[in-house]
Amino acid sequence: MARNPLAELIWQGRLQLGDEPGVFQDAQYTGLASELPITAYRIDPNITSEHTFRLVLETENLETYTGYPGHKIEVHIYQPDPANPFHFLEQVLVTDYFLGSDNNRKEVLVDVAADAGPFRLSVRLRCDTSVGPGFYDDFVWIRLSLLSPGPDFYASLGFPN
């Protein structure tokens, strides 16, 4: 499938998820889950009319069994705790599932409301563990991108100070 030229690359690499280390010799084995911290920004923090963007996860060899939920995707946001200075609260913004029928590419809609940002987020991808151990799918997460509806958002890997 062709990549969207408007998608901004946040991260690219080879992370193997699953229960059989070494299936993909050229990928770093991460176990049953992997989570990437990202920071999303508005191009202009004074313009908060657009609330959404898409995170695009791309994989290789991702498969799921019919009748099972699929590999879980969660997007978390980290925000200051108003009751406890210098502490942050983690909140799930999005939960979705990556299926074999997604053909190794899944777009997840993220709504950040009318906040100015920056938005400290994490994207977690976890193997479907509703099947029996030993039957977990082994696949490689290869790319994470941000797709903005216009020139409204961009992102970078990590949480800069």
pLDDT tens, position by position, 151-160: 899 999 999 8
Query: 46-95: per-residue pLDDT in tens?
Result: 888 889 999 999 999 999 999 999 999 999 999 999 999 999 999 999 99
Cα–Cα distance for residue pair 43/117, rounded to 1 Å: 10
Cα–Cα distance for residue pair 25/42, rounded to 1 Å: 38
Looking at residue 137, the DSSP 8-state letter turns out to be P
Task: Answer whether CATH 2.70.40 is correct for domain 8-150+152-156.
Answer: no
Query: What pLDDT score does 105 carry?
Result: 98
Domain ranges of the chain: 8-150+152-156
Residue 119 has pLDDT above 50, yes or no: yes
Residue 140 has pLDDT above 90, yes or no: yes
Mean pLDDT over the full length of the chain: 93
Query: pTM of the predicted model, to two decimals?
Result: 0.93
Task: Measure the CA angle with vertex 143, ends 62 and 112; round to 5°.
Answer: 105
Q: What are phi and psi of 100, to 5 degrees?
A: -60, -35
Query: What pLDDT score does 5 carry?
Result: 53
Query: What pLDDT score does 4 carry?
Result: 54
Type of residue numbered 14: R
Mean pLDDT, rounded, for 35-55: 93
